[in-house]
Amino acid sequence: MAELNTLPAMSPPSWLRIVQHPLARLLLLGGPLFLMMATSNGFLEQFAGQPLLRLATVVGMIILAVAVYMGFVRFVERRPVSELAPAPVVTELGIGLLIGSGLYAGCVGILMVLGMYRIDGFNPVSTMVPEIAGALSSGFLEELVFRAVLFRIVEEWLGSWVSLLVSSFVFGFLHLLNPEATIVGAIFITVEAGILLAAAYMVTRRLWLSIGFHMAWNYTQSAVFSGIVSGNAPAPGLIRPTIQGPDLLTGGQFGIEASLQAFVLCTATGIVLFVMAQRRGRIVPAPWQSRS
C-alpha cells in the first residue's frame, strides 16, 4: 500500500530548466543588473551638483536592483536568498567597512612616511556628502553584478578557481571604460580587488563583507583623502593633499589602486580570506574534479 500511495517526483517544466541553465541566468539576471549599474553611474554624473538628488536616485536604483535579484532567485532559482540574509548584516558589513577603510588608509600612510602624500589643509566636512552616493552605488550594485551574479553562477557551474579567474578579469578590465584608465590599473584591480572581493564572498557565502570592503575603500579614497577612484575624475574630499612620486607608488592618473602598496596589501588580505574559506570547506570544485 505504501508504494501505491507514493507519487513520482515532478520534474520542473522545460522553460524553467532552460532559464535555470547558468548561461541563461547570467544573461537574464546579469543583463538587467548591469544596466541598472550603468544607469546609476549615469545618475552620479547627471546630478553631480545635487548631492541629495544624487543620493536619492542611487538608493532607488539599489532598492530596485535588490528586488529584481531577490525575485529572480526566489522564483527562478527556487531557493532562499541566503547571500543577502539580514541577520549578519551589521557584523559583516561593519567588519568590511573597517577593513576596507583601513586598507586604503594604510596605502596612504605608506605614502606619507615616504614623503609623497602631504596634507596641505582641509575642506569643509560637507564636501564628503556627495561621495556617499558613489560609494553606495559601487558597493551594492557592483557586488550584485560581479559577485552575486557572475562569480556565484560561474562558480556553481565551473568551480571556484575558474570563477575567480573569469570574474576578476571581467571586473578589472571593465575599469578600462573609465576616463583616465590604464592597462596597469586594470591588471592591478583584476588581481588585488578580484581576489579580495571574491574571497570576502566565499568566506561567508554572503555579500555584506564584500559590499563593506568596496564601499569603504571607494569612500575613504574620494571623500576623505581626495584620491582618484579607478581612473575617474578626482573630486575634492576632506583633505587637501599634494601627491608627488612615481606612478608605481602613487598610482598616477588611475589612483592608488594601481600602486604597489595597494597590490600587496589587498592581495595579501584576499589570500588570507581564501585560506579561511578553504579551511571552512567553502571552495567549490570544478565538475571534472568532483567526478574524479
Please report the pLDDT score of residue 6 as a whole number: 53
Please report the pLDDT score of residue 83 as a whole number: 97
Residue 153 has pLDDT above 90, yes or no: yes
- What rounded mean pLDDT belongs to the chain? 92
Residue 1 has pLDDT above 70, yes or no: no
Please report the pLDDT score of residue 94 as a whole number: 97
Residue 73 to residue 23: CA distance in whole angstroms: 15
Asked whether the whole model's pTM tops 0.75, one would answer yes
Phi/psi for 86 (5° steps) reads: -75, -25
Phi/psi for 122 (5° steps) reads: -135, 145
Residue 7 has pLDDT above 60, yes or no: no
- pLDDT confidence bin for 2, thresholds 50/70/90: very low
Residue 229 cell numbers, joined: 577612484
Residue 12 to residue 14: CA distance in whole angstroms: 6
